């Protein structure tokens, strides 16, 4: 399995630090509002990476934080007259609902920045002790960027170029030793949440949060650190500087970054105002369709959001789901016999699509090509199964299709399951009516089910039903 490492700018073979295990950290959202579909891209992309790693047999420890203290959260709380805690908790819950709708698996752990302040103070103290950080006169603690010799290695920036860019903005009275130094801890402002620290009452800078949460939940060295490409600089560059200076060991072996979700070829963002929330999109489309749309492009290619592309995703997904439905339908009446010679060779041939799918995913998670392989499998199934097919063949083909769709996080059976539970519910009601000798009601329910294409058969073992 190869993946593109931002650190080396190369596709590299994935070799885990510990055999069979993957330690992965994905920077999560700042929770001050509903997430927009740009934020959804890394969630879907890295959830798919995780699913594929699990498919390959890795035990994945997947950590993704919520940034629950930040200027934007504080501003939102002030605007609505509530507290930062209220705002953050509310939007964490809303974000989790959106994630469930997009079938993004719950992380092994979703740490909250505000619950990890002690660890942050500890890491900052360590950095001061090692000479990598210093408190200024007002209690702000800065990271001494120039002291970290590898600064710029992820974003491939030269520290002197950065310095030149910063020269203009160094203001007189600045408490920093150097314009490149960044904040680890900042003093509280009136009305803001704060914590006590050896330097001043205040709160952590954004970058230190991830260094600390990653270390606490995954250890000092991890396999993969990921996020959107806007995080490469300065966020991830600063995380590396903090973690490697404090721990004295490589922070993350691989760095993965998704490209932007755009609108009219501009990054979708809150500040530009050109965004749709996941919630808005869910009013028009099932979120499965949004997920399918996101995976229709390679994660390192920019993706333009448009109604046309969403319609194309809807149609494509429908083709897959309909094929699955058709197979489930056929299997209800299919003969329970062994595969014929012809069927055996079909089963063997069908494996080539799984192989194609794996080859695409092994090549830096090329979900676009992986989806093409699923379409080819669907086409193969549609042209080779019929009412005469054995259950053994149908089962084999269905399992393959379901396995590949599971890796993509596409659900094939949801509607059917919902329908089944509705049918079971009606059958239970009919049984109750019969027990009460209300035969008119029982017949009414039987007719209602018949209208839905469900035929009942009363047997000694109970009621059986089948689709007609
Ligand atoms: P934020 O809450 O802004 O820190 O963003 C959370 C995650 O969403 C980060 O990994 C960002 O890089 C990512 N992100 C934000 N906007 C976009 C976008 N338009 N396209 C892709 N990823 C994005
Ligand atoms: Zn982060």
Q: What is the pLDDT of residues 260-312, one digit of tens each?
A: 999 988 999 988 999 999 999 999 999 999 999 999 999 999 999 999 999 99
Quick one: which of 68, 181, 63 has its CA closest to 117?
A: 68
Q: Whose CA is nearest to atom 7 of ligand 1?
A: 39
Residues 4-18, mean pLDDT to the nearest whole number: 98
In 109-194, which residue ranges form alpha helices assigned H by DSSP? 117-129, 159-167
Residues 63-68, mean pLDDT to the nearest whole number: 97
Q: What is the DSSP string of 253-289?
A: EEEEEE--EEETTEE--TTTT---BHHHHHHHS-HHH
Residues 128-144, mean pLDDT to the nearest whole number: 97
- Residue 128 confidence (pLDDT): 98
Q: What is the mean pLDDT of the chain?
A: 94
Q: Is 267 close to ligand 1, i.e. is its CB under 6 Å away?
A: yes
- What's the gap in Å between 46 CA and the centre of ligand 2? 14
Ligand nearest to the CA of 72: 1
**By CB neighbour count within 10 A (0-12 exposed, 13-18 middle, 19+ buried), where does 81 fall?**
exposed
Task: Judge whether 318 and 286 are in contact, CB under 8 Å.
Answer: no
What's CA 387's distance to the chain center, in Å? 39
Residues 6+ apart with CB under 8 A from 129: none
Question: Does 168 score more than 60 pLDDT?
Answer: no
Q: Is 34 close to ligand 1, i.e. is its CB under 6 Å away?
A: no
Question: Does 124 score more than 90 pLDDT?
Answer: yes
Q: In the chain, what is the straight-line distance between the N-terminal and C-terminal CA atoms, in Å? A: 46
- Residue 425 confidence (pLDDT): 85
Q: 466: pLDDT confidence band, cut at 50, 70 and 90?
A: confident
Q: Whose CA is nearest to atom 1 of ligand 1?
A: 29
How far is 260 from 297, CA to CA, in rounded Å? 11
Question: Could you tell me the sign of the dihedral formed by the alpha carbons of 5, 10, 13, 17, in that order?
Answer: negative
Question: Does 420 score more than 80 pLDDT?
Answer: no
Q: Is 268 close to ligand 1, i.e. is its CB under 6 Å away?
A: yes
Q: 175: pLDDT confidence band, cut at 50, 70 and 90?
A: confident
Number of H helices, E strands in the chain: 15, 15
Of the candidate ranges 108-117, 160-169, 228-237, 419-428, the one whose mean pLDDT is the lowest: 160-169
Q: What tens digit of pLDDT does each residue of 205-221 get?
A: 999 999 999 999 999 99
Kindly state the helix (H) or strand (E) to which residue 52 belongs, with its residue range: helix 37-55
- All residues with CB under 5 Å from ion ligand 2: 27, 210
Residues 390-408, mean pLDDT to the nearest whole number: 98
Give the percent of the chain with pLDDT over 70: 97
More confident residue, 414 or 252: 252
- What's the gap in Å between 102 CA and the centre of ligand 2? 22
Question: Does 167 score more than 90 pLDDT?
Answer: no
Question: Does 462 score more than 90 pLDDT?
Answer: no
- Residue 173 confidence (pLDDT): 61
- Residue 415 confidence (pLDDT): 56
Q: Whose CA is nearest to atom 6 of ligand 1?
A: 29
Question: Does 461 score more than 80 pLDDT?
Answer: no
Q: Is 231 close to ligand 1, i.e. is its CB under 6 Å away?
A: yes
């Amino acid at each position: 399995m190869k993946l593109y490492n931002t650190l080396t700018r190369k596709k590299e073979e994935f070799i885990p630090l510990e055999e069979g295990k993957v330690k992965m950290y994905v920077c999560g959202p700042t929770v001050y509002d509903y997430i927009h579909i740009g934020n959804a891209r890394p969630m879907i992309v890295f959830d798919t990476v995780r699913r594929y790693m699990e498919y390959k047999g890795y035990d994945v420890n997947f950590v993704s934080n919520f940034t629950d203290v930040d200027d934007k959260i504080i501003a939102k709380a002030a605007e609505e007259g509530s507290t930062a805690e209220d705002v953050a908790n509310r939007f964490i819950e809303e974000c989790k609902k959106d994630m469930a709708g997009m079938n993004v698996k719950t992380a092994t752990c979703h740490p909250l920045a505000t619950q990890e302040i002690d660890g942050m103070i500890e890491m900052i103290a360590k950095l001061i002790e090692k000479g990598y950080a210093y408190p200024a006169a007002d209690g702000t603690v800065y990271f001494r960027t120039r002291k970290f010799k590898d600064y710029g290695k992820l974003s491939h920036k030269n520290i002197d170029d950065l310095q030149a860019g910063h020269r203009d903005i160094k203001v007189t009275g600045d408490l920093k030793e150097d314009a490149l130094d960044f904040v680890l801890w900042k003093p509280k402002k009136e009305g803001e949440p704060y914590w006590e620290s050896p330097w001043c009452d205040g709160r952590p800078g954004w970058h230190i949060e991830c260094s600390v949460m990653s270390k606490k939940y995954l250890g000092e060295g991890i396999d993969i650190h990921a996020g959107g490409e806007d995080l490469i600089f300065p966020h991830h560059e600063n995380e590396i500087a903090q973690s490697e200076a404090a721990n004295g060991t490589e922070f993350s072996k691989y760095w993965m970054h998704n490209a932007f979700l755009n609108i009219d070829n501009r990054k979708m963002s809150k500040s530009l105002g050109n965004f749709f929330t996941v919630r808005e999109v869910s009013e028009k489309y099932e979120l499965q369709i949004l997920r399918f749309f996101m995976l229709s492009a390679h994660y390192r290619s920019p993706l333009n959001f448009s109604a046309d592309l969403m319609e194309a995703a809807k149609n494509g997904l429908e083709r897959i789901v309909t094929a699955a439905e058709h197979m489930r339908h056929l299997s209800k009446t299919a003969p329970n016999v062994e595969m014929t010679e012809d069927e055996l060779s079909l089963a063997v041939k069908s494996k080539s699509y799984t192989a194609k799918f794996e080859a695409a995913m092994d090549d830096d998670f090329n979900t676009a090509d992986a989806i093409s392989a699923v379409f080819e499998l669907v086409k193969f199934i549609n042209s080779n199964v019929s009412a005469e097919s054995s259950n053994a063949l149908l089962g084999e083909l269905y399992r393959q299709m379901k396995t590949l769709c599971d890796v993509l996080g596409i659900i094939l059976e949801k509607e059917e399951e919902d329908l089944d539970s509705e049918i079971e519910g009606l059958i239970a009601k009919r049984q109750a009516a019969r027990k009460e000798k209300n035969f008119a009601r029982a017949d009414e329910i039987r007719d209602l089910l018949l209208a839905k294409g469900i035929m009942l058969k009363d047997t000694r073992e109970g009621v059986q039903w089948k689709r007609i």
